[in-house]
Amino acid sequence: MNSITCMICEQINPSRASFCSRCGASLPPPSSSPLETNLDHTNLDHTNLDNKLETGSRLRDRYIIQRTLGQGGFGKTYLAKDTGRFNELVTLKELTPRNQGTHTLEKAEELFQREATMLHKLSSPQIPRFWEFFRDGKRLFLVQDYIEGKTYQTLLEERLSKGERFSETEILQLFQQLLPVLSYLHQLGIIHRDIAPDNIIRRASDGVPVLIDLGGVKQIALEVNTPVTSGQNSAIYAGGTCLGKVGYAPDEQQSLGVAVHQGHR
């Protein structure tokens, strides 16, 4: 069966797909030759993709890299100091396409611009505030607030090391604090796509949970019932529906339920 490989994230999609099921990027028309379809994919140069920005590196003559926060399927995340805004700490999320060709970079920039436009609309104290999107050579970046705190995955591991788990009261409180955030996103036609303990931070300043890593988010039309998948999301957090219908548990609420259940059972 013929397939189309996304040049942004390398997800394999059905031959008749127009958009990538993982990242949402536009897909090229299917080729009559499988070799031709995967031509760029077989000639990837990964040398530059593993290069992390060094501490002290300056971007746009404004952002100074402090350290690397993490690395995912689409790129790296950095902690940086914003010298243009009173040296406040920010998160720089980098997208590094596997294929560094011009066409791929243009598609990646289109995808990142779409995500930036979506993030710009969000206004919630429990979602990191979006500041800007920019391109630096072949690197694409999103700038967001830095949230100081520990993820619930880290907190759970700390509890487990002591033979403990979250109490029922803590679980109920987490639900009460996060469900309104998901409702807010869904009202805007936005889904997070990767609800899991490592994407929820307990903010150090006030103990309130903050939903992070909206790198998998896609803006969708509420009237379209389109199946959604996530390459980064573990199968255990994947649910049955997108925004849900009467009589069915909405996918993201179900994922949140599974996530907190892991910390309580």
Catalytic residues: 194
Burial class of residue 265, CB neighbours in 10 A (0-12, 13-18, 19+): exposed
Cβ atoms < 10 Å from Cβ of 21? 19
How is residue 140 written in tokens?
């694409």
- Residues whose CB falls within 8 Å of the CB of residue 92, separated by 6 or more in sequence, listed in order: 59, 63, 65, 77, 78, 79, 80, 141, 142, 143
How is residue 20 written in tokens?
């990538």
Tell me the C-alpha distance between 107 and 153, whole Å: 33
